[in-house]
Chains A and B, each alone.
Chain A
Amino acid sequence: MSVSRPLVLAVALGLGAGFAPAGVLAQVVESVGLSLTVSHASPKPGPIDPSATEIHRQLRQLFRYESLRVIEQRHVILRMQEVGGIDLPTGKRVEFCPLSLTATGVLIAVEIPGTLQTDVRVPNRKQVVIGVDSYQDGKLILTLQPDY
Chain B
Amino acid sequence: MSKCHGIGALLDGYHDGELGLLERWRVRRHLAGCGACRDELASLAQFGGWLRAVVGDAPEPDLWDAIAQRLPTRRPAPERARARSIPSRRRGLPGLTVTAAAAAFAGAFLVTTSDSGRLASLGGASGVVRSIYANKRPVMVLEAESSNDSTIIWLMDELGEQSPEVSESVGI
Question: Is residue B132 within 8 Å, beta carbon to beta carbon, of the partner chain?
Answer: yes
A120 pairs with B151, CB closer than 8 A = yes
B155 CB contact (under 8 Å) in A58, A60, A131: A131
Q: Among residues 116 to 131 in chain A, which have CB atoms less than 8 Å away from a CB atom of chain B?
A: 116-122, 126-131
In the complex, identify which listed stretch (B58-66, B94-102, B122-130) lies at the interface while the others stay far away.
B122-130
Alpha-carbon distance A112/B131, docked complex (angstroms): 14
Q: Among residues 16 to 36 in chain B, which have CB atoms less than 8 Å away from a CB atom of chain A?
A: 25, 28-29, 31-32
With A61-B29, A129-B153 in contact, is A138–B172 under 8 Å at CB?
yes
Interface residues of B, count at CB 8 A: 33
The 5 lowest CB-CB distance pairs between A and B, nearest first, are A127-B150, A131-B154, A61-B32, A119-B130, A117-B133
Having A126-B144, A127-B151, A129-B152, one finds 7 other A-B pairs with CB under 8 Å, namely A43-B172, A58-B149, A61-B28, A65-B172, A107-B130, A118-B130, A131-B172
Q: Among residues 99 to 149 in chain B, which have CB atoms less than 8 Å away from a CB atom of chain A?
A: 119, 127-135, 137, 139, 142, 144, 147, 149
Alpha-carbon distance A43/B151, docked complex (angstroms): 23
Question: Is residue B9 within 8 Å, beta carbon to beta carbon, of the partner chain?
Answer: no
B135 pairs with A131, CB closer than 8 A = no
Alpha-carbon distance A79/B46, docked complex (angstroms): 57
Main secondary structure of the interface of A (DSSP, over half): strand
Alpha-carbon distance A120/B172, docked complex (angstroms): 22
B16–chain A nearest beta-carbon distance, Å: 20
A128 pairs with B130, CB closer than 8 A = no
A64 pairs with B169, CB closer than 8 A = yes
Alpha-carbon distance A73/B144, docked complex (angstroms): 23
With A64-B170, A64-B172, A115-B135 in contact, is A121–B155 under 8 Å at CB?
no
Alpha-carbon distance A139/B153, docked complex (angstroms): 13
